[in-house]
Amino acid sequence: MSVRRPAAGFTLAELLVAAAITLGLGALALGLAVHALEHWRRWEGEAIAETNGRLALDVLAGDVQGALHRADGGTWLAAAILNSPDELADRHGWRVNSVPPGRIKPAGASSVRAMVTGPIAYGRFGLGGAWLRWFTLDHAGLPTAVSYQICRLPLGPSADIPDAPRYVFVRRANDQVLDRGTDLSSGYSDLEVPAVADILAGDVVDFGVRLFVRDRDAPDGLRQVYPRADDDPAGYLATGRDVAATGNVFPEVGDFMLRVLTTEGADLVANLESGRGRSTRADDDEWWRVVERNSVVQVRRVEFKAGAP
């Protein structure tokens, strides 16, 4: 007569090994899921930044293609690189002087690199970026003065919006050209102070501009007229394209660059500037290291086509 032996069970050691393997596989799966989620969030942030920059440049390109100019001695286009905290605070609505040192986009030498030569995508155009103004045609075919620049909220005493992006790209317009005339050097001071309604895109921390005229003797057929290494990059006042006209020649082509923070980048910059970040930002380069790792650059070349009104 045979005797049945009880079925063999798992030993404690085997159960511990199985549990360890299960935990290891679970941890691996969780790690992969977290990595995939982080990758997705980064990709989504970059996609949003690219879209915001592209849409803002679409608006700018339309104004550039409708640009008006003639050789009458007036200033039909003005460009400047805004890198003076005092000028920005007094004339452009930036709250620069009220921000503790090291808690805002830097204005030192590291912020004005590669403005003149090299790929514009790698350029740094100062604390306030470029400030560009010209006359163009609006949707109704009427002359309008427009101004483009970046700004840092709050934009004014009544515009302190805690949830708004800190850095913004704005378009300011004035359609009273027939009354004020076509000279940007006077009568258009209101183009300097943006309002919340003028915001085209949020989280834009730099705006770069290069202006050209056509020149067969230039290597690529374009001669850069602003900014130039032999000039003060702070200002360019353009009249018409007539070689006999006084002042700077009106450009025929422009390169425009926007640096837009990703969602993660905007959070990192906000933490950095508020003192909540890991870094104490002992130098200006730390701000730029954070920004350049967490931003998207959009570049557009556009022709100034319209000509004389």
Token pair for 107: 């204005």
Helix (H, G, I), strand (E, B) or coil at 44: helix
What is the reported pLDDT for 195? 82
What pLDDT is attached to residue 147? Answer: 95
Residue 99: inside a domain, yes or no?
yes
Q: Is residue 277 part of a domain?
A: yes
pLDDT of residue 181: 85
Residue 255, beta-bridge partner list: 210, 301
Is 119 exposed, middle or buried, given 0-12, 13-18 or 19+ CB atoms closer than 10 A? Answer: exposed
What are the tokens at 160?
Answer: 């302190």
Entry pTM? 0.82
Extract the tokens encoding 304: 């100034």
273: number of Cβ within 10 Å: 20
- Any domain includes 2: no
For residue 123, is it within any domain? Answer: yes
pLDDT < 50 regions, the chain = 158, 243-246, 281
With CA atoms as reference, report the closest residue to 192 among 56, 90, 97, 104.
Answer: 90
| 168 in a structural domain | yes
How far, in Å, CA of 168 to CA of 187, rounded?
A: 25
- List of residues 6+ apart from 100 with CB closer than 8 A: none
Residue by residue, what is the 3-state secondary structure of 231-266?
A: CCCCCEEECCCCCCCCCECCCCEEEEEEEEECHHHH
Q: Range of 81's domain?
A: 13-303
Supply the DSSP symbol for 109. G
Quote the pLDDT of residue 245: 47
Q: In what order do the strands lie in the sheet with 143-152?
A: 199-202, 167-174, 143-152, 130-137, 77-81, 236-238
For residue 3, is it within any domain? no
Contacts of 296 (CB under 8 A, 6+ apart): 46, 49, 50, 53, 259, 260, 262
pLDDT of residue 293: 93
State the total domains in the chain: 1
pLDDT at res. 164: 60
Query: What's the confidence (pLDDT) of residue 221?
Result: 93
Phi-psi region of 281 (alpha: psi -120 to 50; beta: other; left: phi over 0): left
Is 165 within a domain? Answer: yes
Per-residue confidence (pLDDT) for residue 47, from 0 to 100? 84
Check residue 144 and give its pLDDT: 93
How far is 296 from 259, CA to CA, in rounded Å? 6
